[in-house]
Amino acid sequence: MSDYRGIGVLGGSFNPVHNGHVFLAEYVRETCRLERVLMIPTGVHPFSTKRKNVPPGIHRLNMIELAIEGIPGVEASDIEIKKEEPSYTYVTLTELREIYGEETPIHFIVGTDELMTLEKWYCADKIVQEFGLIVGVRPHFEKDRIMEKVRVMEEEHSAKIMLVDLPAPDVSSTQVREALMKGEDAAGMISERVLAYIRENGLYRPEVT
């Protein structure tokens, strides 16, 4: 694995960013020996432009920067939130390839749920053909299902896929939002800096629906 280099791309709404996101970025970077991992909050979501409880992109970017402060090789990127049009993963990956050069391998980091539905994404075949996939596998997920999916993608699209077993327990942004909106303690799920930012900016308040 010592020759596995390049840049990892971890995208999502990060609504809000939580400890699971940060662990995934840091763990994959170290395990796959990547130069860096970019955490990219979605700007305008292609499937829903009227989602509720989604703070402006600048807030989500700021929270990521606070969450990863002091972690080497993990960075936040505003490449999607500064756009007015919907963000598509293939377009973002292509733009990053132009920025970092053809010689720099770019790997798209996904979870098992995303892997199983990836064929529904815009230009999904080009994503798996032109960029490497790194799949974070949680302990509870059925490994046989993943391996079959990987086999099909490799045979049909010549996909380059690496599986990384994740020891960390599941944490979801939905859990964090629900806890915050109920006034419950979410300190174990998100960093103290992010929690302070949320409070200072009045995000995820109970009255917001």
Q: How confident is the model at residue 2 (pLDDT cuts 50, 70, 90)?
A: very low
Taking residues 85-97, report their average pLDDT.
95
Q: Is the pLDDT of residue 209 over 50?
A: no
Q: Where are the domains of the chain?
A: 7-200
Q: Which CATH class is domain 7-200?
A: alpha beta
Average model confidence (pLDDT) across the chain: 90
The pLDDT of residue 92 is 97
Average pLDDT over residues 50-70: 90
Q: 3-state SS string over the chain?
A: CCCCCCEEEEEECCCCCCHHHHHHHHHHHHHCCCCEEEEEECCECCCCCCCCCCCCHHHHHHHHHHHCCCCCCEEECCCCCCCCCECCHHHHHHHHHHHHCCCCCEEEEEEHHHHHCHHHCCCHHHHHHHCEEEEEECCCCCHHHHHHHHHHHHHHHCCCEEEEECCCCCCCHHHHHHHHHCCCCCCCCCCHHHHHHHHHCCCCCCCCC
Number of other CB atoms surrounding residue 175 within 10 Å: 14
Prediction pTM value: 0.92
168-203, pLDDT tens digit by residue?
667 889 999 999 998 888 888 999 999 999 999 999
Share of the chain above pLDDT 70, in %: 92
